[in-house]
Amino acid sequence: MLKIFSFRSLAITTHFADRLFLASQNKAPVCVGIDPVFEKMPAKLRDQTDPNCAAEVIALFEEFTINVLQAAANHAACVKFQSACFERYHHLGVDLLQRMLKLANEMGLITINDAKRGDIGISAAHYGAGCLGRTHYSDLGTHPGADSLTCNAYLGEDSLQPLLDVAAKEGKGLFALVRTSNPGGDTIQNLVLAEGHTVCQAVATMIAELGEQSIGDCGYSHLGAVVGATQPDQAVNLRVLMPRQIFLVPGFGAQGGGPEDVKACFNDDHFGAIITASRSVIYAYQTDPNKNWAQAIDDAAEDLSQQIQSILKG
């Protein structure tokens, strides 16, 4: 049974799940994904930028991302940065990612570094410290690191434990891949094991057990699970297997997932899931070239929030 508790206790909490719960109650349990791709940038910005000059592309991305953050801050609990979109520009991109993570925190947003880290032993610990740990700079002050990190659960328990140790120490969270939204995931994740369970169900059981290490006052673990919106029938079973996990739910919008597809990801307390949309929000201006691009993003973020709030009220 999930516990009910007051917002006053949440206001001073350091547990990741509790902070995400509060942010979701204040706005909506939705996440805006930030996946900047040069070719998809607003024409007004793109036409002024040399695509072969990394510094110019990064300057464009910065202006674009700040506007996305402003829209997200109005309507969403959190933002998810696709690390690959920044890493491809090497140190300039990584520097921008870190600055935008910090800015998002300052704007009151919970941050997810969608880097899907996965390794074992000391390497996993380094990934955890690099993505989640606080770093002190003599000239820049303290960088808080991301509030949470996506990670690959398919290397097994010993690949997750070092990340969990860092997350617990820093008051951060993890979202482990369990059931992904890409069609090719069926090839492995739907395989039936000798015990009768599928591979993704076995991974879900492992995540639920590991997640018991740290449960917040809201009744949820700091170890969540990535469960795609494009697999609504499987979400029902996975919700039973992982009652204390917060589901990060990709695949909404551009990948085909709709409001009815994500209902099963929520618990009876109207929490337990964060619905994330990227392309349908940040590139919303592509459907109406005559509309101001920043306003189109804000409107799409508001629409995402309203869609999810409507299914929770229904």
Task: Return the active site residues.
Answer: 116
Task: Single out the residue of 74, 223, 97 nearest to residue 150, CA to CA.
Answer: 223
70, 254, 270 from 49: Cα distances, Å? 23, 27, 44
Contact, 3 vs 243, CB < 8 A?
A: no
- Amino acid letter for position 71: A
Q: Is 79 left (phi over 0), alpha (psi -120 to 50) or beta?
A: beta
- Cα separation, 106 vs 68, in Å, equals 14
- Amino acid letter for position 221: S
Which residues pair with residue 34 across a beta bridge?
81
SS3 230: coil
- Amino acid letter for position 233: D
For 135, the enclosing helix (H) or strand (E) is strand 135-137
